[in-house]
């Protein structure tokens, strides 16, 4: 029997805002793996083109963990929950799941393997990173329309100079992760 490999990756772990997203991807046979690259090495436009191509030629799913879960459980555990949700939502059961990084979610009856820098080595993981990144970017762009001062459409909520300056000037929003250092330090100065 042919091995069914799923690649899993998460995005938004280091962001100061919003949920963390994860995607799981199993390629169908007609997908050209040479086209797939790590999402961080692609332009926004190229990611969006590849996202459509991957979705058309794969079994895929997206999972997320909310802002509340991130603040209650910490970002690592929330990332693992997002991954688990993506894996469970796949409508084809993989025989092996390759996950970017050095940790895997606890799941019975699944064969999971972590791969450091997997998004650069395994096309299925790269594909998962593309799908998760495009999905999360869409959400952040939507939110950023109400919060133009923070430039989230350009920084995806990461702690850029402009974003940190905006937090100091305009304050913390309901989308900020309250347990993350820059936000926590503003909310509870010593």
Q: What is the pLDDT of residues 70-126, one digit of tens each?
A: 999 999 999 999 999 999 999 999 999 999 999 999 999 999 999 999 999 999 999
Rg (CA), the chain: 17
Confidence (pLDDT) at 181: 85
pLDDT of the chain, 190 residues: tens digit per residue: 678 999 999 999 999 999 999 999 999 988 888 888 777 888 889 999 999 999 999 999 999 999 999 999 999 999 999 999 999 999 999 999 999 999 999 999 999 999 999 999 999 999 999 999 999 999 999 999 999 999 999 999 999 999 999 999 999 999 999 999 888 888 876 6
- Where does CATH 3.30.420.10 sit in the chain? 5-144
Fold of 5-144: Nucleotidyltransferase; domain 5 (3.30.420)
């Amino acid at each position: 029997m042919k091995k069914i490999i799923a690649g899993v990756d998460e995005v938004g772990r280091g962001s100061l805002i919003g949920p963390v997203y994860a995607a799981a991807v199993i390629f169908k046979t007609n997908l050209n793996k040479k086209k797939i690259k790590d999402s961080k090495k692609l332009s926004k436009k190229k990611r969006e083109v590849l996202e459509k191509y991957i979705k058309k030629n794969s079994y895929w799913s997206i999972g997320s963990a909310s802002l509340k879960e991130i603040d209650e459980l910490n970002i690592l555990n929330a990332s693992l929950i997002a991954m688990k949700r993506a894996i469970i939502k796949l409508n084809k059961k993989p025989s092996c799941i390759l996950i970017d990084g050095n940790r895997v979610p606890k799941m019975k009856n699944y064969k999971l393997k972590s791969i450091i820098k997997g998004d650069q080595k395994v096309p299925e993981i790269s594909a998962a990173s593309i799908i998760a990144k495009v999905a999360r970017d869409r959400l952040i762009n939507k939110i950023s329309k109400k919060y133009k001062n923070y430039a989230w459409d350009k920084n995806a909520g990461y702690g850029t100079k402009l974003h940190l300056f905006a937090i100091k000037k305009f304050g913390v929003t309901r989308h900020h992760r309250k347990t993350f250092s820059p936000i926590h330090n503003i909310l509870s100065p010593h």
